[in-house]
Amino acid sequence: MKKLTEKFLPAIETELQRQIARLDEPRTIIYYEMLTYHMGWTGEGAGSKAAGKRIRPLLVLLAASASGRQWEAALPAAAAVELVHNFSLVHDDIQDNSERSPPIAILVIISVLPFRCRMTSSAFGATKR
């Protein structure tokens, strides 16, 4: 199990960064900066402890591997699960009026949710109509 975790966690982090990097362009740079901060990659206290344990995406990859699938193919789904989880954390902070998530986080949620939904549907092989 430890070997799988050591193999999967860097891949999860790379996939999360790859997906969020899609927002690194002039019209969405503010969302990119907020997400990289929220994910623990930038800002004060950034680092592996700030990034979290990534249990949910790890479970996605373990399930894919256990079912005989190529775990690499499940990376977009694993990233989507982690982003949805982080969405719920920000949403909870907003509901609790937490100082940790400023009101601008509402804009992130509204703006990034469709991005996550597209990423999730493509991860599961959905096609555009």
Tokens in use for 22?
């899609």
Give Cβ neighbours of residue 19 (< 8 Å, ≥ 6 apart): 76, 79, 80, 83, 119
CA–CA separation, 87 and 69 (whole Å): 28
Q: Report how many domains make up the chain.
A: 1
Task: Write out pLDDT tens, residues 84-114.
Answer: 888 777 767 666 766 655 555 555 555 555 5
Under the banding of pLDDT at 50, 70 and 90, the label for residue 115 is low
Give Cβ neighbours of residue 129 (< 8 Å, ≥ 6 apart): none
Residue 20 and residue 31 in contact, taking contact as beta carbons nearer than 8 Å: no
In a domain, 35, yes or no: yes
In a domain, 128, yes or no: no
CA–CA separation, 105 and 93 (whole Å): 9
In a domain, 87, yes or no: yes
CA–CA separation, 77 and 68 (whole Å): 16
Under the banding of pLDDT at 50, 70 and 90, the label for residue 2 is confident
In a domain, 61, yes or no: yes
Q: Output the domain CATH number for residue 15.
A: 1.10.600.10
In a domain, 129, yes or no: no
56 versus 1: which is more confidently predicted? Answer: 56
In a domain, 8, yes or no: yes
Domain that holds residue 39: 2-123
